A and B are shown apart, each in its own frame.
Chain A
């Protein structure tokens, strides 16, 4: 099975900050990676698929990049509604696997 890791596991940031989260796969997954955002008490929301394709309706301050084994999610200017936990998911092989999550909270 493909193992996914994320760094950092948690971070504190301020409104307006540029935030970068990294996801690494244990083997080459090409561009088969999605990013999800989950706010406390709510259902996860897919932000990005195929590593860099923005889901319809997602603000353009979110972007994804990478291929192979290393991927990044970038929030260009953090907004108050962006404080949440972010997960990556590889959708290359079965079983699919999520990363452990990165919690972004207010500094």
Chain B
């Protein structure tokens, strides 16, 4: 059974940094692209970033490009999202998903507020 477990969400001040982690199990992690999707309170879904399988590169939404960095450690079956220069509008539940969002974690809440 596929399991995705996000962690790292917290309350952070504007301009601050945070690193999210997503520990995966139940599938061959290195064979799959991994994606972050977020959802602001009461709002719709927003695609954030993808870490493709080895050598496949990374891509970002325009809203986070230059501030967020996605990475993966295939030896640990974990994908990360390093978030810098956080803004109030980054407040959201951040979901880790498998591939093009076939499977979803339960999400981790990031709140950016002073």
Query: A100 — which chain B residues lie within 8 A by C-beta?
Result: 44
Residues of chain A contacted by B94 (CB below 8 angstroms): none
Interface membership of B50, Cβ < 8 A: yes
**C-alpha gap A91/B43 in the complex (Å):** 21
A sample of 25 inter-chain contacts (CB < 8 A) reads: A1-B62, A34-B100, A36-B45, A36-B101, A43-B105, A44-B45, A44-B95, A44-B104, A46-B101, A49-B100, A49-B102, A55-B102, A85-B44, A87-B45, A89-B47, A95-B47, A95-B59, A95-B60, A96-B47, A96-B100, A97-B47, A98-B45, A98-B46, A99-B44, A101-B44
A49 to B107, CA, bound (A): 22
Q: Mark B42-76, 1 if CB is under 8 A from A, else 0.
A: 00111100100000000111100000000000000
**Residue of B whose beta carbon sits closest to that of A96:** B47
Decide: A46 and B102 in contact? CB cutoff 8 A. yes
Chain A's interface size range is 20 to 34
Residue-by-residue, is B1-34 near A (CB-CB < 8 Å gives 1, otherwise 0)?
0000000000000000000000000000000000
Whether, in the assembled complex, B106 has its beta carbon less than 8 Å from a beta carbon of chain A, the answer is yes
Query: Among residues 42 to 101 in chain A, which have CB atoms less than 8 Å away from a CB atom of chain B?
Result: 43-46, 49, 55, 85, 87, 89, 91, 94-101
The A-contacting residues of B in range 77-112, CB under 8 angstroms, are 95, 100-102, 104-107
Q: How far is the CB of A16 from chain B (nearest CB, A)?
A: 28
Residues of A within 8 A of B104 (CB): 43-45
Interface contact B44-A34, CB-CB below 8 Å = no
